């Protein structure tokens, strides 16, 4: 079950009946035998979910060739359930993500509309005390979502209307001290619908397994070194190739990274540092005539330091710096690929907005957070935006100056967010706004959108059940 979702658990007779149906379907001699086995296994059936409604709008679009103003209303429903019996677990999750009012020339995409989709369907077995006291080792197979570390490269990010998912297998090991190691091998799922007409019509299309793409690797995290301190690392491998009807950049990437963080606490300094290098081979474009394999040399760094004042509102002040390489004039391909990561936590709201991310970026910034009460928090942030390579596309804006004559300054981004939980944490209200003061690059690049500064706002209501 995903964090933040209220669980409803039936044990005893109902759980036994559900488990009996499952066991009977797997070949038990008769229902009586299945019921006897179910009673011995003490099964648990869990169900929960959430419903979210959001309204958002952007004015002063920064992406080229799109409407300057867009309003979008979206709804996301999640229902997940699982049956667990003595270490065996069968789980699933249904997603229904719909949107309305965006028009045919907006930035709404397949990650915003994904109707009636079986997001997860998996089986898992967990054993305890395998290598030490109170440790656990689990094996999972099927379709599932994943989140690692601070979500920069692999994430199930909550702000979006849908989530990346994968078909494959994973092994997870966790010690008593919550040290973790995950090994995984997957094929990412391609979200559908993926055409503007189908997205506009909320067409029901099941996602497709990307059999031409393999994503696998290892991710680990150590928490037992010292109180509040976490140290981790990862190795991810992405291999893709063309398939009929789908052209790719034939990426064959290896991403190796390290991360460390010291958790925030009142009256204490905290920090987070993550860095990764990326190498391999890839093509510059997906064009059918592009057959040139380029050597990839890319990387990123995120560094953040904060301090939480020992006051009632727990105000935390932090400064951060982000660098992600871009593709420069040398022979190697230098633009960092953020794989299946999320951008919201570091770089502001996405969906209709989302200009900033881990690609061709140099960005210092500052953030202030406070909790006036246990159920209410507020955040204000600002960051300056520069290009790492002046001839490459800036971050996720699709704006580019191949001559490099416009310069590196893309602008300054401001964000405000307010959140409030109600009714025993079952209901959450969230409002936010972002402002992109465009710099020289976003105003004067050859394909820049000349709509003035970008203004974005949204309001959410989420009910967990």
The domain locations on the chain are 8-464
Instruction: Give the H or E element holding residue 23.
Output: helix 12-25
| CA separation for the pair 321, 323 (Å, rounded) | 7
Residue pair 109/119 in contact by the 8 Å Cβ criterion? no
- Joined together, the tokens standing for residue 213 give 């793409």
User: Please, what is the angle between helix 31-41 and helix 12-25, to 10°?
Assistant: 130
pLDDT score recorded for residue 23: 43
| CA separation for the pair 232, 304 (Å, rounded) | 16
Q: Which of 290, 289, 317 is nearest to 305 (CA)?
A: 317
| CA separation for the pair 125, 84 (Å, rounded) | 9
pLDDT score recorded for residue 12: 42
| CA separation for the pair 319, 338 (Å, rounded) | 22
Residue pair 214/196 in contact by the 8 Å Cβ criterion? no
Question: Which residues of the chain are under the pLDDT cut of 70?
Answer: 1-41
Instruction: Give the H or E element holding residue 41.
Output: helix 31-41
| CA separation for the pair 465, 446 (Å, rounded) | 50
Residue pair 460/54 in contact by the 8 Å Cβ criterion? yes
Residue 71: beta bridge partners? 57
Question: How confident is the model over 175-187, as pLDDT tens digits?
Answer: 998 899 999 999 9
Residue pair 359/347 in contact by the 8 Å Cβ criterion? no
Best CATH choice for the domain 8-464 from the list 1.10.3720.10, 3.20.20.70, 3.40.50.150, 2.40.160.100: 2.40.160.100
| CA separation for the pair 421, 227 (Å, rounded) | 29
Q: Helices (H), strands (E): how many in the chain?
A: 5, 20
| CA separation for the pair 43, 313 (Å, rounded) | 43
Tell the residue number behind the tokens 């849908």, with chain if given.
162
Helix/strand/coil (H/E/C) assignment for every residue in 324-386: ECCCCCCCCECCCCCCECCCHHHHCCCCCCCCCCCCCEEEEEEEEEEEEECCEEEEEEEEEEE
Tell the residue number behind the tokens 């907006």, with chain if given.
106
CA angle 362, 453, 448 (to 5 degrees): 70
Region of residue 385 (left: phi > 0; alpha: psi -120 to 50; beta: else): beta
| CA separation for the pair 359, 297 (Å, rounded) | 13
pLDDT score recorded for residue 33: 54
């Amino acid at each position: 079950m995903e964090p933040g979702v209220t669980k409803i658990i039936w044990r005893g007779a109902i759980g036994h009946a559900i488990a009996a149906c499952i066991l009977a379907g797997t070949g038990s001699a008769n229902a009586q035998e299945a019921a006897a086995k179910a009673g011995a296994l003490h099964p648990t059936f869990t169900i929960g979910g959430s419903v979210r409604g959001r309204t958002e709008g952007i004015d002063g679009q920064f992406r080229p060739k799109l409407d300057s103003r867009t309003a979008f209303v979206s709804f996301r429903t999640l229902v997940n359930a699982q049956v667990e019996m003595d270490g065996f677990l069968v789980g699933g999750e249904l997603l229904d993500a719909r949107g309305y009012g965006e028009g045919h020339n907006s930035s709404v995409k397949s990650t915003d509309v994904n109707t009636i989709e079986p997001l997860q369907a998996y089986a898992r077995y967990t054993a305890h005390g395998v290598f030490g006291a109170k440790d656990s080792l689990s094996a999972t197979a099927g379709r599932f979502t994943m989140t690692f570390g601070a979500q920069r490269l692999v994430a199930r990010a909550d702000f979006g209307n849908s989530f990346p998912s994968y078909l494959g297998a994973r092994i997870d090991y966790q010690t008593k001290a919550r040290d973790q190691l995950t090994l995984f091998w997957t094929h990412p799922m391609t979200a559908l619908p993926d055409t503007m007409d189908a997205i506009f019509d909320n067409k029901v299309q099941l996602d497709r397994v990307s059999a031409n793409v393999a994503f696998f690797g290892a991710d680990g995290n150590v928490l037992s070194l010292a109180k509040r301190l976490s140290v981790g690392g990862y190795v991810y491998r992405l291999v893709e190739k063309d398939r009929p009807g789908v052209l790719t950049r034939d990426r064959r990437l290896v991403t190796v990274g390290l991360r460390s963080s010291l958790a925030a606490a009142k009256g204490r300094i905290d920090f987070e540092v993550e860095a990764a290098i990326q190498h391999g081979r890839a093509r510059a474009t997906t064009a059918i005539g592009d057959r040139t394999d380029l050597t990839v040399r890319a990387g990123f760094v995120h560094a953040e330091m904060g301090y939480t004042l020992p006051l009632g509102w727990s105000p935390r002040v932090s400064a951060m710096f982000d660098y992600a390489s871009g593709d420069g004039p040398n022979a190697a391909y230098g633009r960092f690929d953020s794989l299946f990561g999320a951008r919201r936590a570091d770089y502001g709201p996405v969906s209709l907005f989302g200009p900033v991310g881990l690609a061709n970026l140099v960005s210092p910034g500052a953030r202030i957070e406070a909790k006036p009460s246990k159920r209410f928090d507020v955040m204000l942030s600002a960051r300056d935006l520069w290009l790492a390579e002046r001839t490459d596309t800036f971050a996720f804006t699709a704006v580019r100056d191949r001559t490099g004559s416009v310069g590196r300054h893309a602008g300054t981004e401001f964000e405000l967010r307010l959140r409030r939980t109600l009714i025993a944490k079952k209901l959450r209200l969230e409002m936010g706004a972002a402002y992109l003061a465009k710099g020289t690059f976003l105003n004067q690049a050859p394909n820049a959108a000349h709509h003035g500064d970008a203004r974005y706002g949204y309001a959410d209501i989420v009910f967990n059940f």
